[in-house]
């Protein structure tokens, strides 16, 4: 099946209305697996963003969602989750068609994790408590969490529905209204979710979806003076621009989850190298390497380097690109022709820099018209090379040998990024030391990419600031207000 489900509309959702762009402009959504047009989206801009923000503000000020009893908001959100669950197969198909990722992943990972996120924050609504201060007998003081107001959420194309839920669910759980600018490459699942949410009883105006480019719609949202916060997942350069836009407008809050160049460290004392090889392969090749936490730098202790790399290549050779709609496919297409060509350019650059290409390195399945790449591994990569230091966002792994734990720690931290890291070792003392000294927001020990909604997600350094997931994400969408009552003595 390559057609959209019949009830999917590509139009913007503003309040309860479906809208085209005011100037009639459209953006094609391309199926990455075939290179063909899947749908045409409205290329919205400042006019539509302004309308959506106005609707969101009106809903917030009316108070019908903000002031609703927490358990009532919880019931509405759980009905929305039930609506998503009832259409899980449609969402999985949509995500595969517009992103190129295997349907086995969208069925087993993307849609279930989005659903889990929505239910987690629905259940958390009535578990947010204020604080009572020790003010003395003549005064009662307490602090409460007030919703911010209108949240602008800009979400990426690599996990369209899941990342949208990371922003939408905690924001609306706290009583805010939200305007979402999805990636122009993958807007359909988010637009369809808005329809499901309205059908389930989410008040109109609480959630608004405005597709368009970052340069037009995204910039208009970030610069809007009636938006109280921008939450963004994407690239570093765009994150920097959003900070400028926030400062140049109404000094709105900004939360950024940006890029990564995550180190995956393998010590010789770990007893099961086959397990590590499997994890290392999927740590970079899952979702075609288009993951901000991808283990793109593999640091291997030199005494096991040759043996481990042989095991790794053996695993990687079983990971072949294929039709994303085939349930047997584990490696789909990268998001666009531009992205594919950019990754191929990085591969050519690594070869010029002298890295050893030991697997892949080419476009695959050209006859499909899609944007497929072979799993690619470079060995003996220089730590100072572009491949070792710059985010590729594709199925390309850089293997770097090391001799001592001190060298491994230096290599791991020697990057402008600090999103994720992981290590495999039989020594819990070494693991504990590295967990404390690695400069990353996420540290995984004897595993990779543990995805737990109850734990915060975010980075150090130029990987951004602010956290998604966990109760910490709820609090970032709220203001802390202190209230005092005096009692005459």
Q: Which tens digit of pLDDT belongs to each residue from 466-482?
A: 999 999 999 999 999 99
pLDDT of residue 450: 78
Is the pLDDT score of 2 beyond 70?
no
What is the arithmetic mean of pLDDT over 355-365? Answer: 99
When pLDDT is cut at 50, 70 and 90, the band that residue 221 belongs to is very high
- Helices and strands (DSSP H and E) totals, the chain: 16, 24
Alpha helix locations (H) across 209-322? 219-223, 236-248, 273-285, 305-316
User: Model confidence at 154, in pLDDT bands (50, 70, 90)?
Assistant: very high
| pLDDT given at position 136 | 87
Which residues have a catalytic role annotated?
257
pLDDT average, residue stretch 250-275? 98
451 — pLDDT class (breaks 50, 70, 90): confident
* 356-359 and 253-257 strand pairing: unpaired
pLDDT of 251 strictly over 80: yes
Q: Is the pLDDT of residue 30 over 60?
A: yes
**pLDDT-above-90 percentage for the chain:** 96
Instruction: Give residue 5's pLDDT.
Output: 77
Residues 73-116: tens digit of each pLDDT: 999 999 999 999 999 999 999 999 999 999 999 999 999 999 99
Is residue 214's pLDDT more than 90? yes
How far apart are the C-alpha atoms of 463 and 141, rounded to whole Å? 38
Q: Which of 417, 374, 418 is nearest to 397 (CA)?
A: 374
pLDDT one-digit tens code per residue, 394-416: 999 999 999 999 999 999 999 99
Mean pLDDT for 190-216 is 98
**How far is residue 151's CA from residue 252's CA, in Å, rounded to a whole number?**
10
pLDDT at residue 449, rounded to an integer: 85
Name the burial class of residue 160, with classes exposed (0-12), middle (13-18) and buried (19+) by CB atoms within 10 angstroms of its CB. Answer: buried
Q: Which domains does the chain have, with CATH numbers?
A: 12-258+463-482 (3.40.605.10), 263-452 (3.40.309.10)
Tell me what the pLDDT averaged over the chain comes to.
Answer: 97
Tell the residue number behind the tokens 């910490």, with chain if given.
Answer: 472
Q: Residue 3 has what pLDDT?
A: 73
pLDDT for residue 1 is more than 60: no
Task: Write out the DSSP string of 223-253.
Answer: H-TT--EEEEES-HHHHHHHHHHHHHTT--E
Q: State the pLDDT at residue 96.
A: 98
- Which pLDDT score, from 0 to 100, does residue 480 have? 96
* Predicted local confidence at residue 489, as pLDDT: 81
pTM of the model: 0.96
Alpha carbons 137 and 487: distance in angstroms, whole number: 8
């Amino acid at each position: 099946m390559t057609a959209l489900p019949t009830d999917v509309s590509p139009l913007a959702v503003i309040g309860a209305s479906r809208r085209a762009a005011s100037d009639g402009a459209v953006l094609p959504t391309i199926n990455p697996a075939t290179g063909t047009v899947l749908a045409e989206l409205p290329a919205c801009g400042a006019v539509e963003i302004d309308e959506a923000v106005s609707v969101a503000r009106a809903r917030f000020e009316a108070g019908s969602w903000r002031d609703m009893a927490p358990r009532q908001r919880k019931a509405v959100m759980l009905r929305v989750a039930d609506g998503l669950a009832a259409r899980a197969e449609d969402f999985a198909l949509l995500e595969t068609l517009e992103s190129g990722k295997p349907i086995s992943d969208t069925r087993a990972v993307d849609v279930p994790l989005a659903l889990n996120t929505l239910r987690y924050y629905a259940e958390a609504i009535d578990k947010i408590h204020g604080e009572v201060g020790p003010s003395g007998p003549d005064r009662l003081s307490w602090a409460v969490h007030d919703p911010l107001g209108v949240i602008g959420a800009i979400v990426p194309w690599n996990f369209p529905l899941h990342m949208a839920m990371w922003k939408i669910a905690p924001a609306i759980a706290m009583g805010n209204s939200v305007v979402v600018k999805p990636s122009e490459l993958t807007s359909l699942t988010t637009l369809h979710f808005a329809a499901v949410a309205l059908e389930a009883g989410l008040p109109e105006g609480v959630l608004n979806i405005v597709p368009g480019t970052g340069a037009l719609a995204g910039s208009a949202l970030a610069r809007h003076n009636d938006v109280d916060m921008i939450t963004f997942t994407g690239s570093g350069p765009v994150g920097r621009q959003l900070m400028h836009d926030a400062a140049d407008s109404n000094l709105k809050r900004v939360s950024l989850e940006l890029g990564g160049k995550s180190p995956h460290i393998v010590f010789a004392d770990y007893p099961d190298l086959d397990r590590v090889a499997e994890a290392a392969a999927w740590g970079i090749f899952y979702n075609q390497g288009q993951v901000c936490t991808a283990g793109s730098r593999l640091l291997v202790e030199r005494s096991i380097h040759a043996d481990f790399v042989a095991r790794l290549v053996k695993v990687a050779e079983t990971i072949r690109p294929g039709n994303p709609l085939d349930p047997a496919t584990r490696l789909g297409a990268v998001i666009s022709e531009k992205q594919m060509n950019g990754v191929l350019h990085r591969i050519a650059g690594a070869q010029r820099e002298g890295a050893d290409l030991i697997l892949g390195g080419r476009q695959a399945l050209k006859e499909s018209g899609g944007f497929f790449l072979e799993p690619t591994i470079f060995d003996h990569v220089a730590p100072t090379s572009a491949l070792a230091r710059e985010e590729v966002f594709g199925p390309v792994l850089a293997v770097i040998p090391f001799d001592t734990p001190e060298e491994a720690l230096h290599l791991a931290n020697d990057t402008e990024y600090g999103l994720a890291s992981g290590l495999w070792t039989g020594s819990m003392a070494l693991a504990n030391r590295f967990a404390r000294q690695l400069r990353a927001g996420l540290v995984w020990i004897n595993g990779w990419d543990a995805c737990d909604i109850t734990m915060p997600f975010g980075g150090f350094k130029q990987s951004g600031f602010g956290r998604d997931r966990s109760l910490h994400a709820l609090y970032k969408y709220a203001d802390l207000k202190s209230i005092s009552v005096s009692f005459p003595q």
